[in-house]
Structure 1
Amino acid sequence: MQVTLEGRTALVTGSTQGIGAAIASSLAAAGARVAVNGRDPERTGEAVERLRGELPGAELLSVPGDLASDEGLAEVLDRLPETDILVNNLGVFGAKPALEIEDAEWRRYFEVNVLTAVRLIRAYLPRMKERGWGRVLNIASDSAVVVPAEMIHYGMTKTALLSVTRGFAKEAAGTGVTVNSVIAGPTHTGGVEDFVYELVDKDLPWEEAQRVFMREHRPQSLLQRLIEPEEIAHMVTYLSSPFASATTGGALRVDGGYVDSILP
């Protein structure tokens, strides 16, 4: 299966590092013109230059802007008025005892993790529908289904994204536009190695350390290792392609079997 996205434009939010950067790279490698987004213009520009070094000839745009603010959203929409593929990857997360999460933090998590996606879909979906083709991908998490006790404010937002996805898929019904969620499982991103070594023997080689971590602290994973960001990016690239034309309104798992369910 040869996925090609030539002639398509993609916006990946929160794509200066981690899963977002891997998605931007994968879409660009498939031929898409990719807009990289981050809050800081300098870091966003640096991320674009890194990608250009990895993918000579790729068409990449720097589209900085804090999407949780009206000004940042306007800045992004001014730089990129239309897109064929929208990947809502932007998100914040952190651990905090449930009874210590204050109202302001609940609101911040909802505004960044959910409302930024809603606002961008509202901005870009009408033209996708008019053109008769488009892809909207919302990056969710296993925490949407297996809500962690130490991060229920984060889990709540990812559960909400699943509802947002299903609802907007109905809005796009019959138009040639698909709207899906990708449920990412425990992933090897920045800071995760330090976290793993806080819980397992620091003298273990990384490959062994992560397997010990998964076995002892994430035993429900069937993969029994952390997922690499590129593996999530592969699913996003497939769902962005013409091959996924009959998949919409879904929550597709790239979780290594972490969620104990026989349904997608």
Structure 2
Amino acid sequence: MPKKSLKSKKNDYSIIIITKNQKAFLQKSLPAILSQTIKNLEIIIVDSGSTDGALEFAKKYPVKIINYHSPVFNFAKAFNLGAQKAKGQYLVRLSGDAVPANKHWLKELGKDTEKPKVAGAFSRYVFSAKNHLLHQFWFREWPLVRKVPFSVGGASFLIKKSLWKKCPFNEKWGPGEDWEWAEVVRKAGYKILYKRMSLVYHEHQAPLLKQILDFLYWLFISIPSGFFKYNQVRIRIQKLNEYYQ
């Protein structure tokens, strides 16, 4: 007999997708989310002015849509908007260019996260030839990288809503707000789990110059204690990144 899907309590999990002009990915991610072994999911899409038909496509599915318009896209602000509306006790941030690799993605991501001192968990990235080389290198499953105290993968990132209420994402940050949040909660005594069996495809493409700027940005925020010591360098690189978006 086929195995039955796991039924979560109503809205245990709120999936928050942050997107702009990523219809091609939504065409893959929404069916993948609905095929999960865990059912009764709340799906929230925070959209920043898509013009590629993404929202028209999304409306075919049981989703809530939040329109977020800003001259400069802010991941932290977008996620916080979705989290405010979410009903689940677990918030799952999914980037617009991330797609669950199989039907066990969420079940594996949620394992052990009910423990009191666990703040959340993040997935393992699966790459394709479409990913730019620096991105493949930076987020590859290097054992040393996974031992960095505040290393997280924000493209598929589960956090407890009760903890998010006490510590929402810092909206003063550009990319890297997930790492900053991880450092804050870990200093408060919490753990963030790496779930290598929770697989997500993450395609992140960019021109060569943007790749180099991305690499420098992530390099500076990943230096121990670099979140504050190198903050001005990070801000300057971030401004260049925004210019070349």
Q: Which TM bucket (shorter chain)? A: 0.3 to 0.5
Q: TM-score, normalised by structure 2?
A: 0.38
**TM-score when scaled to structure 1?**
0.36
- Could you say which structure has the larger radius of gyration? 1
Larger helix proportion, structure 1 or 2? Answer: 1
